[in-house]
């Protein structure tokens, strides 16, 4: 009898110990929904794991798809954090009340421009929309001054864009806010009628310029620099439209903490890490993006932030939360 009781006690203690160990592992593991591509963020995620001992389980997908997934899952979502490619998707999730308000100690790390007005998301890096072009087929002097000029007959079949990409959809959301629904829809329809060529994302736009498929394209600024890093003579260049043109939108990648997360304290460590000098330097030096904190060594390839801000259109990133309206518009004009 005593022998059996000893076995029972031992088994009970072992179960308790295993439960405690499982809980410890569970506490040091967070789940991240990432709308940013694996090639861009995996290195810094791995560095975070190495530096902190916290495991990050990542689910990669399109930014808009993940926003929709979060809304469907609601409070049942396994996600602790949502890393998005643009402010529009972050705003859309915020509207559904799924984010927890971030601590002031985190929010004050970045300027007001780069965070939600009520503290529900924060930027992790900045990106600019540009006009990429083939200098072999188009001289800089002959480039359009405005994104609206791309509907002219001279550009028929020569423009590349990426309607499925989250950054393009955010750009359209911003355009709707700046020039209105009617003018934005007209531009989309005119671009389609003018034979704009659709690509799944930004990288193929740069490749298409090199291959001679198109003469100009509408990507984010940092994609070309990856090609230039491998080949300084890569035959594609990029520029901005005239000052304050809607085509010069500066957007952000950013992150929000899910209200439903039961590991918010651990998840906040990841957000703080992305805003650290080490992570910000990675985004600047390796991804060619703009930092959102001070004290980061600038990338010589980038237009200084103070110069960039002189040519961007005036627009509040907090107003980019109508992602659903943009998706409906793109479907209405039969682009999606």
Tell me the per-residue pLDDT of 152-193, one tens digit each, with 9 for 90 and over: 999 999 999 999 998 999 999 999 999 999 999 999 999 999
Distance, in Å, from the CA atom of 132 to the CA atom of 301, rounded to the nearest integer, reads: 15
Alpha-carbon gap, residue 30 to 5, rounded angstroms: 39
| Proportion of the chain above pLDDT 70, given as a percent | 92
pLDDT, one tens digit per residue, over 194-231 is 999 999 999 999 999 999 999 999 999 999 999 999 99
Residue 11 has pLDDT above 50, yes or no: no
pLDDT at 10 over 90: no
The CA distances from residue 115 to 198, 260, 268, in Å, are 31, 21, 15
Task: Tell me the pTM.
Answer: 0.85
| Res 258: pLDDT | 98
Q: pLDDT category, 68, cuts 50, 70, 90?
A: very high
Measure the CA–CA gap between 93 and 82, rounded to whole angstroms: 9
* Cβ-proximal residues to 160 (8 Å cutoff; 6+ apart), any chain: 196, 197, 198, 199, 204, 205, 208, 209, 213, 214, 216, 217, 218
The helix (run of H) or strand (run of E) holding residue 168 is helix 166-179
10 Å Cβ neighbour count for 133? 23
Which token pair is 334?
């039969």
Measured in Å, how far apart are the chain's first and last C-alpha atoms? 72
Distance in angstroms (rounded) separating the CA atoms of residues 50 and 44: 10
Residue 238 pLDDT level (bands cut at 50, 70, 90):
very high
* Residues β-bridged to residue 256: 82
pLDDT category at 275 given cuts 50, 70, 90 is: very high
* pLDDT value of position 4: 52
| pLDDT value, residue 315 | 85
Question: Taking 90 as the threshold, does the pLDDT of residue 5 lie above it?
Answer: no
Averaged pLDDT for residues 17-27:
47
Is the pLDDT assigned to residue 289 strictly greater than 70? yes
Confidence at residue 314, expressed as pLDDT on a 0 to 100 scale: 86
């Amino acid at each position: 009898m005593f022998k059996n009781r000893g076995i029972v006690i031992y088994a009970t203690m072992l179960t308790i110990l295993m439960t405690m160990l499982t809980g410890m592992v569970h506490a040091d593991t967070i789940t991240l929904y990432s709308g940013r591509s694996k090639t861009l963020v995996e290195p810094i995620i791995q560095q975070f794991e190495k530096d902190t001992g916290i495991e990050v389980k990542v689910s990669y997908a399109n930014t808009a798809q993940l926003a929709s997934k979060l809304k469907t899952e609601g409070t049942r979502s396994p996600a602790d954090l949502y890393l998005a490619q643009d402010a529009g998707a972050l705003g859309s999730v915020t509207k559904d009340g799924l984010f927890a308000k971030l601590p002031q100690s985190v929010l004050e790390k970045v300027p007001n421009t780069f965070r939600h007005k009520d503290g529900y998301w924060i930027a992790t890096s900045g990106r600019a929309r540009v006009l990429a072009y083939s200098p072999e087929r188009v001289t800089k002097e002959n480039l359009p001054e405005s994104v609206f000029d791309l509907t002219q007959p001279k550009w028929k079949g020569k423009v590349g864009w990426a309607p499925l990409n989250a950054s393009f959809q955010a750009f359209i959301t911003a355009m709707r806010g700046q020039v209105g629904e009617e003018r934005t829809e007209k531009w989309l329809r005119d671009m389609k009628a003018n034979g704009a060529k659709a690509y799944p994302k930004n990288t193929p736009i740069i490749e298409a310029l090199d291959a001679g498929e198109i003469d100009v394209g509408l990507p984010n600024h940092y994609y070309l620099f990856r090609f230039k890093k491998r080949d300084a003579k890569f035959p594609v260049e990029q520029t901005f439209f005239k000052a304050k043109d809607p085509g010069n939108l500066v957007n952000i990648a950013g992150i929000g903490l899910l209200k439903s997360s039961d590991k918010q304290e651990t998840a906040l460590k990841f957000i703080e890490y992305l805003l650290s000098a080490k992570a910000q330097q990675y985004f600047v030096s390796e991804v060619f993006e703009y930092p959102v904190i001070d004290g980061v060594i600038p990338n010589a390839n980038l237009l200084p932030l103070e110069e960039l801000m002189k040519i961007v259109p005036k627009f509040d990133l907090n107003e980019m939360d109508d992602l659903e309206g943009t998706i409906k518009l793109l479907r209405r004009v039969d682009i999606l």
